[in-house]
A and B are shown apart, each in its own frame.
Chain A
Amino acid sequence: MKVIGKPRRRVDGWAKVTGRTRFADDIVLPRMLHMKLLRSPLPHAEIEAIDVSRAEKLAGVQLVLTGKDFPVTFGIMPVSQDEYPLASDRVRFVGDPVAAVIARDEQTCTEALDLIEVKYRPLKTIATPEEALATTEPRIHEYGPHGNIHRLQAHEFGDVEEALGSSDYVFEDVFFYEGNTHLAIEQQAAVAALEDAGGLVLYSSTQNPHYLHRELARVLQMPASRIRVVATPNGGGFGGRCDPANHEMVVAKAALALGRPVKICLSREEVFYVHRGRHPVLMKFRTGVTKDGRLTGIHLQTLLDGGAYGSHGAASTFYTGVLTPTTYELPRFKFEACRTFTNKPPCGPKRGHGTPQPRFGQEVQLDKIAEKLGLDPAEMRLRIAVKPNSLTANWLRIGSAGLAECIRQVVERSGWKEKFRKLPEGRGVGLACSAYMCGAGLPIYWNKMPHSGVQLLADRSGQVTALCGATEIGQGSDDVLAAMVAEVLGIGAEDVRVLTGDTGLTPVDLGSYSSRVTVMMGNAAIQAAEALKARIAEAASEQFQVAPNRLEFANGRVFLAADASKGMAFREAIELAEAKFGTLGSVGSYRPPDPPGRYKGAGAGPSPAYSYTACVVEVEVDRATGWIAVPKIWIAHDIGRVINPVLARGQVVGSVYMGLAEALMEEQVFRRLPPKLSNALVHKFPSLLEYKSPTSLDMPEVETVFVEDPDPNCPFGAKEVGQGPLLPVPPALANAIYDAVGVRIDELPITPDKVLRALEKKAKGEEPRVGPEHFPAVPYPEPVVVPPPWEGGDGNAVKGAGPKVKVPA
């Protein structure tokens, strides 16, 4: 292969480093106005009255919008369309948008916001999942099973109680993973304008222009065909721009109302309020094992703090469990989950979407299991690593699976055997693994259409243009698109012009989420490129009077495979094809295979392929202070095939960075004031300075290894690399801390004060552990019962078609 696998400068790299890339905030249009949102200062309240008259009169103000201008709700999931662009009668968290001012400049907007008077009637504030479970009234939303529960679900694949009962050991552990946010450096911005023909165009830093397009049509009550959404290049996404956002709806409405372009740039604080980040998850693992370290069954319970709206929550809830059986052989699995509403910014998808939390619990618990059984944790994992081409207990189809090789690589390179339990006091190593999906098997709204489409244009100038709805969020999807097309057509990646993320011009792609783009867009791109190639080959082969399949495409030429001297430039071949067939173009599309599971809920978890990762973290812990330093991390990722090593490595190192940040520092946490004096519930520090994330000085050396085991479902065998490598980092760190000083920190982030507290407990002879003490009673429904494949099932449920709700007394 000429392009695939070769280290290359990314196709959009030059524009980015020279400042030519136009992010949403760089867009300036003639007669453009600016917009700012007024946000609720109260965590939970009814809006009794809004008076905008003074704001409207301020010089320079063009328009003030409020909830009454937006009768229609929206939401990314069809099951939770619970957001208003502007709140009309209720605010649900500090930061919920209430009104918008459109004026000649931002300063005027800000001044006008201060002139809007809102009368609120405060309601009881619900701050935690425990409070949500205990509070039936008031309800933050009028939907959901009951009270302040948003989602409840339960699935059982085989009789787990029986499996645990006949195990040699049963381990029971409770873990907590704190919520955190995406922290993309670019703050979201959007510009809306009318196009010449009168339709609406919205330029926005969105990851999912297609879903946004649908939601805009719904909210504005306009045909989608009159709306065009252009996803501008994103300065980072990580899931933070997957949801359609209030400001996008409002800025669009404002542009329509005024007939002038309108722009909004969110402040950093507002980005913290838009959030949709990692759910705080409390989880309980009950795991049965045999003496030699084989898993017999896992009973997993999770409790999610969802924040004030549904967002992706229905999916997030599933993801706190469904991928648990994808790393190791697991005969039986029971999974119960609950998502609660609280008066905080809504949680949603962040890199790894719902899965890093249970991975942390599972991988730390495995470390405890290995220790108890006297096994080396690497050896134990090697023995139980999931087998390629298998089905899991919950009916996920595993294709290629390079986990064992990943483990061997990090064990070898880190010197694991010489280090584990052998380093001097205060130093330690920890290992953890993970699996992740390469694209969700199902779209967010039910349909049978392709998940990704690619269209190619080629003409006599020799140029090839690739159009696709996929969105460049910094991850390099434009580069992947160019590389795939270039490889097939035998030209350079830089010879392919890419045009992406524009619902007015490009074929639909569902968006940059769930690690789906390389696989789905890539398969579509190959199909389109092969179709174009076939036409070119047919025309060119006439010149040489050979069958088209005797031609080869490489190095910008089309030539006889048997005799490279007989050939022509790629451009000449296109001329021939254009002469023979007329205007040239081709399309390709991709839809993932139907999942084998057929029970209710089987839609979450299936994927065309799964990536695998193993990671070793080395730490130094100061016994006197609990201070933690991380000198080095080794990580091996089963990527199927590397498309561009430069980008792939960037994704791994970036994932390690983010995983380490979540493990050591990041927390999206809230402050309550003394209840007698105030019912405020505010984000503790919505600022880049005080929301701590490691700096380059805090980042350890990372040694990255790629394991290439091409997956037949994937383009050139390439699996995902954007999310999976994050997942093993937090548990590997926790396990390393145990190796270093013998204490278990069963919650994230792991901070020096927690380590010191655990060391003090250890010194006193108490259990050397800091973490959640108990898991509350959650009214999980009767489970959907599905026999695993090896117990005679056919993928259908045999009991409990769907979640029925038990209302607590």
Chain B
Amino acid sequence: MMRLPWFEFRAPSSVAEAARILAAEGPDAMPIAGGTDLLPNMKRRHQTPRTLVSLRRIESLKKVSNGAGLTLGAGLTLTEVIHEPKAQPYGALRQAAAQVATVHLRNMGTLGGNLCLDTRCTYYNQNYEWRKAIDFCLKKDGGICWVATASKRCVAMSSTDCAPALIAIGAKAKLVSATDERELALESLYNNDGIEYLKRRPDEILTEIRLPPAAGWRSTYWKLRRRGAFDFPVLGVAAAARFAKDGTVEEARIALGAVASRPFLVPKAAEALVGKKLTDDVIAEAATLAASRAKPMDNADLDLYWRKQVAADFVGYALRELRGDDMRGTRLRIARQIL
């Protein structure tokens, strides 16, 4: 990678001030939180913002508050999220955050940065000279998508672990700009487009994530990647369900990550669980339904067809864990750690 390009660095201490700078500077300015995604990208010349607006000094972005549910500031580091006592009932979030990257990166990387993470592709996440050698690609500086040469749309992959977990939990995101603020279901923050992957406007700051009450819910996150650390997901399965006393599913959500340019819910699969107990057959049916929506592309690690093939197995792991099976052995083999 090259050294960082030149940029101007601003470090406001309030959201309002940060929003003002973003509005004044226009799309040439970008927010930076932990920088664990943005700075390597800048070294590859994926983004070359004229101005970086650091969010790290903004105390209000680190707030954790109870209300109806839980509100997490976007500026919390992933390590803080993992250890936040109030977040413990949200198993999927903790398991997702704990599987992001490495300890060092989780100490720097934030929840907000994770949700706004750039999409990834093996033709894109390469240094400048490499991309020059393939005459660049649709996502940046070029005209062709090398993953699907006929595609008009960039198919770079959503690679955030926390987004599918939070979507399954039913979280909402709050966006604040100099002129307005809005709240939207987290799932609708994303577009299925590798370039325009966020509905966030360049002048908006993601300030908070609101989680609904956890009472009665169980949730889990399973991640497929080659190794026990460092690697981005090549499949993320988040599942959440509310159970009646007798184990009947009353409400459920299943979300997939890293198999499209956005994380998304699979309502059909979730519906297949409602009103039923999680028998092996029910799990198998829902797993097949969910897996049929996984459309991995040949732009990430591991064999494409195999990734598609095992999606149902991973949905099965998640649902069995929700059912209460002891999945520690499987978890240890897959994640190389107990979560």
Interface residues of A (CB under 8 A from B): 39, 41-42, 94, 106-107, 110, 267-269, 620, 622, 624-627, 629, 665, 671, 673-674, 677-678, 680, 682-687, 689-690, 692, 694-698, 751-753, 756
Task: Give the nearest-CB partner of A665 in chain B.
Answer: B226
Bound CA span A682–B123, Å: 10
Q: Hey, which bits of chain B sit against chain A, CB under 8 A?
A: 1-3, 122, 125-127, 129-130, 132-135, 144, 146, 149, 226-231, 301-303, 305-306, 309-310, 313, 332-334, 336-337
B130 A683 Cβ-Cβ under 8 A? yes
In Å, the complex CA distance between A774 and B87 comes to 56
A627 touches B333 (CB 8 A): yes
Which chain B residues lie closer than 8 Å to A677 at the CB level? 144, 149
Q: Which of A94, A268, A677, A697 has the most CB of B within 10 A?
A: A697
Residues of A within 8 A of B313 (CB): 624-625
Q: Determine if A680 and B133 form an interchain contact, defined as CB atoms under 8 angstroms apart.
A: yes
Q: Is the Cβ of A687 less than 8 Å from the Cβ of B126?
A: yes
Query: Is A695 in contact with B3, judged by CB distance below 8 angstroms?
Result: no
Q: How far is the CA of A41 from the CA of B128 in the complex (A)?
A: 11
Cβ of A697 and Cβ of B336 under 8 Å apart? Answer: yes
User: Could you pull out 16 A-B pairs where Cβ atoms are within 8 angstroms?
Assistant: A41-B133, A269-B130, A625-B313, A626-B306, A627-B333, A629-B332, A671-B134, A680-B134, A680-B135, A686-B130, A687-B125, A692-B231, A695-B336, A697-B229, A751-B302, A753-B306
Q: A269-B130, A682-B134 are in contact. List 5 more A-B contacts (CB 8 A).
A: A682-B133, A689-B230, A689-B231, A692-B227, A696-B229
For A684, list chain B residues within 8 Å (CB).
Answer: 122
Whole-angstrom distance from the CB of A497 to the nearest CB of chain B? Answer: 37
A698 and B336 within 8 A (CB): yes
CA of A42 to CA of B133 in the docked complex: distance in angstroms? 6
A-B pairs, top 3 by smallest CB distance, nearest first, are A697-B228, A753-B306, A753-B303
| A622 contacts B1, C-beta separation under 8 Å | no
Residue of A nearest to B314 (CB): A625
Q: Which residues of B contact A752 (CB under 8 A)?
A: 302, 306, 310
Interface pair B127/A267, CB less than 8 Å apart: yes
CB distance from B97 to the nearest CB of A (A): 17
Name the contact of B303 in the complex, choosing from A627, A694, A751 (C-beta under 8 A): A751
A685: contacting residue among B1, B122, B135, CB under 8 A:
B122
In the bound complex, residues from chain A placing their C-beta under 8 Å from that of B309 are 625, 756
CB pair B301 A690 closer than 8 Å: yes
The closest CB in chain A to the CB of B304 belongs to: A753
Kindly provide the distance from the CB of A413 to the nearest chain B CB, expressed in whole angstroms.
Answer: 23
CA distance in complex: A677, B336 (Å): 41
Question: Would B228 and A695 count as touching, CB distance under 8 A?
Answer: yes
Q: Hey, which chain B residues are within 8 Å of A269, CB to CB?
A: 1, 127, 129-130
Which of chain B's residues has its CB closest to A106's CB? B3
Q: A interface, by DSSP: helix, strand, loop or mixed?
A: loop
Residue of B nearest to A689 (CB): B230
With A624-B313, A682-B134, A753-B306 as known contacts, state yes or no: A41 contacts B228, CB within 8 Å. Answer: no
A683 vs B133: C-alpha distance when bound (angstroms): 10
Task: For the complex formed, measure the closest distance between the CB of A54 and the CB atoms of chain B, giving whole angstroms.
Answer: 17
Determine whether the beta carbon of B3 is less than 8 Å from that of A685: no
Distance of B232 from chain A, by nearest CB (Å): 8
CA distance A751 to B130 in the complex (A): 26
Report the bound CA distance from A267 to B309 in whole Å. 37
C-alpha gap A689/B2 in the complex (Å): 16
Residues of A within 8 A of B228 (CB): 695, 697-698
By the criterion CB–CB under 8 Å, are B135 and A678 in contact?
yes
**Considering the chains assembled together, what is the distance between the CA atoms of A674 and B337 in angstroms?**
40
Instruction: Give, as a whole number of angstroms, the nearest-CB distance from A134 to chain B.
Output: 25
B133–A692 touching, CB < 8 Å: no
Contact A627 B334 (CB under 8 A): yes
Q: How far is the CB of A130 from chain B (nearest CB, A)?
A: 22
**Docked CA distance A609–B149 (Å):** 56
| Minimum Cβ distance to chain B for residue A694 (Å) | 6
Q: Tell whether, in the assembled complex, residue A629 and residue B134 are in contact, meaning their CB atoms are under 8 Å apart.
A: no
Smallest CB-CB separation from A107: which chain B residue? B3
Chain B positions within 8 Å of A106 at CB level: 3
List A contacts of B146 (CB < 8 A): 673
Q: Is there contact, CB below 8 Å, between A753 and B302?
A: yes
Known contacts A269-B127, A753-B303, A756-B306, A694 near B227 by CB under 8 Å: yes
Tell me which of A107, A110, A625, A680 has the highest count of chain B C-beta atoms within 10 A of its own C-beta. A625
Q: How far is the CA of A135 from the CA of B307 in the complex (A)?
A: 36
Say yes or no: A673-B134 contact (C-beta < 8 A), given A627-B333, A697-B228: yes
A756 nearest CB neighbor, chain B only: B306
* A33 nearest CB across to chain B (Å): 16
The chain B residue sitting closest to A36, CB to CB, is B2
Given contacts A695-B228, A695-B230, contact A690 B130 (CB under 8 A): no
Cβ-defined contact, A622 with B133, below 8 A: no
Are the CB atoms of A690 and B306 closer together than 8 Å? no
Which residues in B have their C-beta under 8 angstroms from that of A685?
122, 126
Given A627-B334, A687-B126 in contact, is the A692-B226 Cβ separation under 8 Å? Answer: yes
Q: Which residues of B contact A696 (CB under 8 A)?
A: 229
CA distance A753 to B305 in the complex (A): 8
- The closest CB in chain B to the CB of A760 belongs to B309
Q: Smallest Cβ distance from B325 to chain A, in angstroms?
A: 15
Q: Give B144 Cβ to nearest chain A Cβ, in Å.
A: 6
> A697 to B130, Cβ gap below 8 A?
no
CB atoms of B149 and A674 under 8 A apart: yes
Residues in B neighbouring A756, C-beta threshold 8 A: 306, 309-310
Q: When A673-B134, A680-B135, A682-B134 are in contact, do A39 and B229 touch as well, CB less than 8 Å? A: no
The distance from the CB of A247 to the nearest CB of chain B, in whole angstroms, is 15
**What's the Cα separation between A625 and B303 when bound, in Å?**
12
Inter-chain CA distance A41–B122, complex, in Å, is: 17
A653 and B2 CA atoms in complex are apart in Å by 34
- Distance from B297 Cβ to chain A, minimum over Cβ atoms (Å): 14
Verify A94–B133 contact, CB threshold 8 A: yes
Q: Are A698 and B2 in contact (CB under 8 A)?
A: no
| A685 to B125 Cα, complex, angstroms | 9
A359 to B158 alpha-carbon distance, docked (Å): 41
Interface centre among B126, B130, B309 (most CB of A within 10 A): B130
Q: Which residues of B contact A629 (CB under 8 A)?
A: 332-333
Q: A291 CB to closest chain B CB, in angstroms?
A: 40
How distant is the Cα of A697 from the Cα of B310 in the complex, in angstroms? 22
Nearest CB of chain B from residue A96's CB, rounded to whole Å:
11
- Chain A residues contacting B135 (CB-CB under 8 Å) are 678, 680
* Complex Cα–Cα for A752 and B314 (A): 14
Q: Which residues of A contact B126 (CB under 8 A)?
A: 685-687
Contacts of A626 in B (CB 8 A): 306
| Residues of the A chain whose Cβ atoms lie less than 8 Å from the Cβ of B337 | 697
Whether B227 contacts A695 by the Cβ 8 Å rule is yes
Say whether A695 contacts B229, CB under 8 Å.
Answer: yes
A451 to B135, CA, bound (A): 49
B301 interface neighbour in A671, A692, A697, Cβ under 8 Å: A692
- Which chain A residues border B231 with CB–CB below 8 Å? 689, 692
Cα-based distance from A674 to B135 in the complex (angstroms): 13
B132 in complex: contacting residue of A41, A665, A674, CB < 8 Å: A41
Closest Cβ neighbor of B146 among chain A residues? A673
Chain B residues whose CB sits within 8 angstroms of the CB of A694 once the complex forms: 227
Chain B residue nearest to A105 (CB atoms) is: B3
Q: Whole-angstrom distance between the alpha carbons of A624 and B309 in the complex? A: 10
* Residues of B with C-beta under 8 A to A687: 125-127
* Residues of chain A within 8 A of B2, CB atoms compared: 110, 267
Q: In the docked arrangement, what's the CA distance between A141 and B231, Å?
A: 39
Closest Cβ of chain A to B129, distance in Å, is 6
Report chain A residues within 8 Å CB of B336: 695, 697-698
Min CB distance B101 to A, Å, is: 9
Task: Give the distance in Å from the alpha carbon of A685 to the alpha carbon of B302 in the complex.
Answer: 13
Once the chains are docked, how many angstroms separate the CA of A694 from the CA of B228? 8
A439 to chain B, nearest CB (A): 35
Chain A CB within 10 Å — which of B3, B129, B313 has the most? B129
- Give the CA-CA distance A627 to B337 in the complex, in Å: 15
Cα A680 to Cα B309 in complex, Å, equals: 30
How far, in angstroms, from A697 to B305 measured CA to CA in the complex? 26
- A502–B206 Cα distance when bound, in Å, is 57
Q: Report if A690-B227 is in contact (Cβ < 8 Å); known contacts: A627-B334, A629-B333, A673-B146.
A: no
